[in-house]
Amino acid sequence: MAASGHELEKRADGKGGPLLRLENLVKIYDTGALKVMGLHKLSLEINRGEFVAIMGHSGSGKSTLMNILGCLDRPTLGHYYLDGQDTAGLTSDELSDIRNRKIGFVFQSFNLISRTSALKNVELPMTYARVPKARRRARAQELLTRVGLGARMDHMPNEMSGGQRQRVAIARALANQPPLILADEPTGNLDTASSIEIMELFRQLHEEGATVVVVTHEEDIAAFADRILRFGDGKLLSDEINRNHPWTRKKEEADAD
């Protein structure tokens, strides 16, 4: 895939400023008898083109945050500005429109449509966006080739390995050239080699200008990002620049030999 998608997007809306901005965001899950705090007064900015990893123990609020960033859920209180726009006042239709145009979401469990070819899975978001058939087919082929599945376009998800399924899911997330890619434990179901391939793919997308946010439990996976946010009990505990990229480590090891 050419880098032009993200580049054009950046130029078109080159307003500067953060792509994502959270202001005193609170998420409370109301389960009837019990109210559970998902996020507690979170303020945070993520700039265009950043590559961010989110870490934290189970139940610390990572998925809650990703679902809000991805417009899959709404905050209870506070504001979420995406690309300068306050999402609070938007209708469900407006939110799904934003989701389709601006956000590519990658899930731990791939969420592909079964008994449907890789090609058709990748075409789907473009169908929703009313991209003409010939164009969406060509783009789906280009994206699948890009993620290394050029020879497997007609395969069904159950005929593919976990790593291959996740690459289909990433191709699908890229279909409408979103400036923002969100991934919630994308390597959670993968072996180490496939996990590294997936993270290298995210790294390339970041280098082409996409903003990438990845949730992970593993330090080695977070090490691919440039900034690491750590959560605990719905609060941001730390926000650090990562100086421990795997390629930096490899170079240091080579230099030491």
Ligand X SMILES: Nc1ncnc2c1ncn2[C@@H]1O[C@H](COP(=O)(O)OP(=O)(O)OP(=O)(O)O)[C@@H](O)[C@H]1O
Q: Give the nearest distance from C-beta 27 to Mg ion in angstroms.
A: 13
Choices 17-25, 61-69, 121-129, 136-144 (CB under 6 A): range interacting with ligand X:
61-69
Q: What is the DSSP letter of 235?
A: E
Between 61 and 179, name the residue whose CB sits nearer to ligand X.
61
Number of other CB atoms surrounding residue 91 within 10 Å: 8
- Applying the rule CB under 6 A, the residues between 62 and 81 that interact with ligand X are 62-64
Structure tokens at 127: 């169908």
Picked from Mg ion, ligand X, none, the partner binding residue 59 (CB below 5 to 8 A depending on kind) is ligand X
Choices 14-22, 28-36, 115-123, 139-147 (CB under 6 A): range interacting with ligand X:
28-36
Between 177 and 216, name the residue whose CB sits nearer to Mg ion.
216
Under rule CB under 5 A, residue 60 binds Mg ion? no
**217-247 b/e (C-beta count within 10 Å ≥ 16 → b):** eeeebbbbbbbbbbbeebebeeeeebeeeee
Between 63 and 87, name the residue whose CB sits nearer to ligand X.
63
Under rule CB under 6 A, residue 187 binds ligand X? no
CB 146 within 8 A of CB 138: no
- Return d(Cα 149, Cα 132) in angstroms, integer: 23
Under rule CB under 5 A, residue 63 binds Mg ion? yes
**Please, what's the largest Cα pairwise distance for the chain?**
61
Structure tokens at 99: 């989701």
Which residues sit at the interface with Mg ion, rule CB under 5 A? Answer: 62-63
Which residues sit at the interface with ligand X, rule CB under 6 A? Answer: 29, 31, 36, 38, 56, 58-64
